[in-house]
């Protein structure tokens, strides 16, 4: 009589393998780190970006740079200027222009609120980060006021004092 053996099978592989973290929205595609150093960030807004196909692929590859970018309201429409999105490496002759002006998509009521706030003296729109949300590219805009040199020094002084106090507390717990 033949012995019956349990036939072990491998479980079915996952049908939807995990997407890249940037495309899945778990990691930001681009971050403007200098924004909080050069500006007081007062209020943040989310806006969609009208992009071409190769621009979306380039953003997914991490080719976006928000360093010198800013937002502008013109004729009740919101625009993103100086946002550099590098060329898509697998693109063809129809690849996008790197520094073109891109339209930002927001509700009309939100744009009206922004018009009122940006007409105040010294306030501007600065993009702080670019990310994916349910497959669409979004930009986080911050209503910002420029810092003077002494403001930057004060922020740096406060940051180093906080760091030193945290380190001192850690040393006292250890010892």
- Our measurement of the distance from residue 25's CA atom to the centroid of its chain's CA atoms, rounded to an integer in Å, reads 10
**At residue 65, what are phi and psi to the nearest 5 degrees?**
-140, 125
Q: Which two tokens stand for residue 151?
A: 């403001």
Return the exposure string of 17-36: e unless at least 16 CB atoms fall within 10 Å of the residue's CB, then b: eeeeebbebeebbbbbeebe
Q: Which two tokens stand for residue 110?
A: 């939100």
Strand-pair partners of 49:
104
Name which of 160, 137, 155, 161 is nearest 35 in CA terms: 155
Helices (H) and strands (E) in the chain, counts: 5, 9
pTM, 2 dp: 0.75
Q: Homologous superfamily of 21-147 in CATH?
A: Small protein B (2.40.280.10)
Q: What is the rounded distance in angstroms from the CA atom of residue 31 to the CA atom of residue 135? A: 18
pLDDT tens for the chain, 175 residues long, are 566 666 666 665 555 556 677 777 777 888 998 888 888 899 999 999 999 888 998 898 888 999 999 999 999 999 999 999 998 888 787 788 889 999 999 999 999 988 888 887 778 999 999 999 888 999 999 999 888 888 889 888 999 999 999 999 999 988 7
Domains of the chain by residue range: 21-147
List Cα–Cα distances, 1 to 4, 5, 6, 150, in angstroms: 9, 13, 16, 91
pLDDT tens-digit readout, 93-137: 778 888 999 999 999 999 998 888 888 777 899 999 999 988 899
């Amino acid at each position: 009589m033949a012995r019956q053996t349990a036939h072990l099978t491998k479980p079915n592989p996952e049908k939807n393998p995990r997407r890249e973290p940037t495309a899945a929205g778990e990691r930001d595609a681009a971050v403007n780190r200098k924004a909080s150093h050069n500006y007081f960030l007062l209020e943040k807004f989310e806006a969609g970006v009208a992009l071409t196909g190769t621009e979306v692929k380039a953003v997914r590859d991490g080719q976006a740079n928000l360093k010198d970018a800013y937002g502008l309201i013109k004729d009740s429409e919101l625009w993103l200027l100086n946002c550099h999105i590098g060329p898509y490496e697998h693109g063809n002759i129809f690849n996008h222009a790197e520094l073109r002006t891109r339209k930002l998509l927001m509700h009309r009521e939100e744009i009206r609120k922004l018009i009122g706030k940006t007409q105040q003296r010294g306030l501007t729109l600065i993009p702080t980060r670019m990310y994916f949300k349910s497959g669409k590219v979004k930009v986080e805009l911050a209503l910002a006021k420029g810092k003077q040199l002494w403001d930057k020094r004060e922020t740096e002084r406060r940051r180093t004092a906080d760091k030193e106090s945290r380190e001192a507390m850690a040393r006292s717990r250890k010892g």
